[in-house]
Amino acid sequence: MILESRVIVHTAHLSLILQRLSEELLERHPGFHNTVLIGLQPRGVYFLNRLAMVLQARLAVLSNDQSFSSGGSLSESETHGRLSMPAQGALDVTFYRDDFRHRSEPLSAHTTQLPFSLEGKKVILVDDVLFTGRTIRAGLDALLDFGRPDRVEFMVLVSRRLRQEFPIHPDYCGIEVNTHDDERVRVCWDEPEGAHITLIKTTG
């Protein structure tokens, strides 16, 4: 039963976070050479879709930036391809979970869409909330069944401290929050542009 529901990150704040995350991606992956973004189904994909919108808008600004496209501090090879988006995919981890028998409700699977090879790629796995770490653990297993990426990074919008059950930490983190076991964090992508993050207190 829901006792209390409180918005912890409002739309304006969330859009700043998305902008920062896309800047971090641009900074660490110049040109997105051999880089792919893979969202974990289902909610990581919602997050990735929104992030891709922000990233695309940012790339459009950069492509109009004279100093950026001619000269500037970046060499030709670094700017080459910078203006194109990295490929995106969706990964379903349902059949890789180790906790499917411990849930009160069975999980339903979603579609996996990886329309590219993972060989030699830099993969950034994207999910909305990091809690126990079991989803991303299953995600790594699922990912490696599709090939051998060069490296794997992990981006999360919300990292819930205090309750991680695996030694897993995100490479990119939108916001860290302190939560209790009886609380849930839900990211709501309800409006076409806006979104917010809610902290929900429940019983049991």
Q: How many residues does the chain have?
A: 204
Q: Which is nearer to another protein, 27 or 105 (CB)?
A: 105
CB of residue 139 vs another protein: minimum separation in angstroms? 13
**φ/ψ bin of 122: left (φ > 0), alpha (ψ from -120 to 50), beta (otherwise):** beta
Q: Which is nearer to another protein, 19 or 113 (CB)?
A: 113
Report the C-alpha gap between 81 and 91 in whole angstroms.
25
CB of residue 149 vs another protein: minimum separation in angstroms? 14
CB of residue 119 vs another protein: minimum separation in angstroms? 11
Q: Virtual CA dihedral for 170, 171, 177, 179, nearest 10 degrees?
A: 10
Q: Which is nearer to another protein, 117 or 202 (CB)?
A: 117
Q: Which is nearer to another protein, 6 or 103 (CB)?
A: 103
CB of residue 171 vs another protein: minimum separation in angstroms? 25
Q: Which is nearer to another protein, 5 or 111 (CB)?
A: 111
CB 128 within 8 A of CB 45: no
Report the C-alpha gap between 104 and 113 in whole angstroms.
28
Contact residues for another protein, defined by CB under 8 A: 92, 94-97, 100-112, 141-142, 145-147
CB of residue 107 vs another protein: minimum separation in angstroms? 8
What is the dihedral sign for C-alpha 18, 193, 191, 106? negative
Report the C-alpha gap between 152 and 34 in whole angstroms.
12
